[in-house]
Amino acid sequence: MTLTTEAEPKQHPLVSATGHVLKARETGIAIALALVVVAATAVNPAFLFSGDGFRDLLLTPSLLMVVAVGQAIVIITRNVDLSVGSTVGLTAYLTGRLFIDFPGIPPVLVFIAGIGLGAVLGLINGALVAFAKVPALVITLGTLYIYRGINVAWAGSDRINASDMPADFRSLGTGDVLGIPLLTILAVIVLVVAAWYLRNLRSGRELYAIGSDPAAAHLYGLRVTSRVLGAFIVCGALAGLAGVLYAARYGTVSSNAGYGWELQAIGAAVIGGVAISGGVGTVWGAAIGAYLLLTINRALPIIGIEDFWQRAVVGILIIGAIVLDRVLAVRQHRRLIAAREEQS
């Protein structure tokens, strides 16, 4: 007697893709963002349907999105960079000083200088973490204060004003294409490039392997040290880019520029599904998380929620995201054990 088993019908590719999207963590964050926008718009239609409202919805989170993308890349490797806010402030002030000290300097050179300084600061962090084997939390907490101290000593009480920077540079912060702010377009370009790198290049995929199990990745022959170093350099370079764009966006720069951005960037990444334990998450999620965080900050006062509860909501979102990551990790572990037992 022979047993015949019927092959399971294959799902249509469109159905399979739709199911994958609906199950993705990023989809839930995007839905939460949409609900916040709908609630705020219902209370005050100008939140979305005025010219400035729609523009601010796109523009305000753009700089944080750039920083959050870099932070996500570092967190995926099971590290963290607490110095990104100080890097933003330092490169933003450098941007203003270059325009003051070198009149007529091409903005392209200013971008190169800002991104380069950010990359160097990231290199310092990465070298100490990768070669000295000191925990990233400790190292970047120290460099947070060091970089901020350098900025305060350099800037003092001086302030860079909009009149100190050329109009064509400042137009990056105010210009738009078909109603979409230029800064948003630049941020999306950064996001797409980073997402493509992590998904399609071997070196990008290796970051997930390193974050999942650094010891196993090392035994497997992956270049753990250089990959971690590269992640910190990219994170620093993106923070440097955000610093240059900060100067273009706000026009004025002081020693407290970028203050507190490190926590917002980490919060955006974690809320967006990037596991703080490493190896899980996407830069898409971090970007949506950045939009959710800053949109909540704009929407809650309109809804009538007091300042204390505004901050509490953000904290609850971060804690909830961490708990959810842990629950999903435990479920995945149980599934793997069950599958292994069935095979044996």
Concatenating the DSSP letter of every residue in 125-136 gives HHHHHHTT---H
So what's the pLDDT on residue 174?
86
**25-275+283-343: what CATH class?**
mainly alpha
Q: Where are the domains of the chain?
A: 25-275+283-343
What is the rounded average pLDDT of the residues 97-107? 91
For 56-60, 186-190, 262-266, 340-344, which range has the lowest pLDDT when averaged over its residues? 340-344
**Mean of the pLDDT values across residues 102-111?**
92
Both tokens assigned to 342: 């069935």
pLDDT higher than threshold 90 for residue 216 = no
Helix, strand or coil for residue 194?
A: helix
* Residue closest to 127 by CA, chosen among 117, 115, 140: 140
Length of the chain as a residue count: 344
- Taking 60 as the threshold, does the pLDDT of residue 1 lie above it? no
- Per-residue pLDDT tens digits for 139-194: 999 999 999 999 999 988 888 888 888 988 888 888 888 888 999 999 999 999 99
Low-confidence winner among 32-36, 70-74, 203-207 (lowest mean pLDDT): 32-36
Measure the N-to-C terminal CA separation of the chain; round to a whole number of Å: 25
Instruction: Give residue 344's pLDDT.
Output: 65
Tokens 């070198």 sit at which residue? 102
Beta bridge partners of 253: 160
Euclidean distance between CA atoms 239 and 236, whole angstroms: 5
Mean pLDDT of the chain: 85
Q: Which of 53, 44, 86 is nearest to 265 (CA)?
A: 86
% of residues, the chain, pLDDT over 90: 43
pLDDT tier for residue 324 given thresholds of 50, 70 and 90: confident
Q: Which residue has the tokens 């997402």?
A: 195
Can you give the pLDDT at residue 14? 46
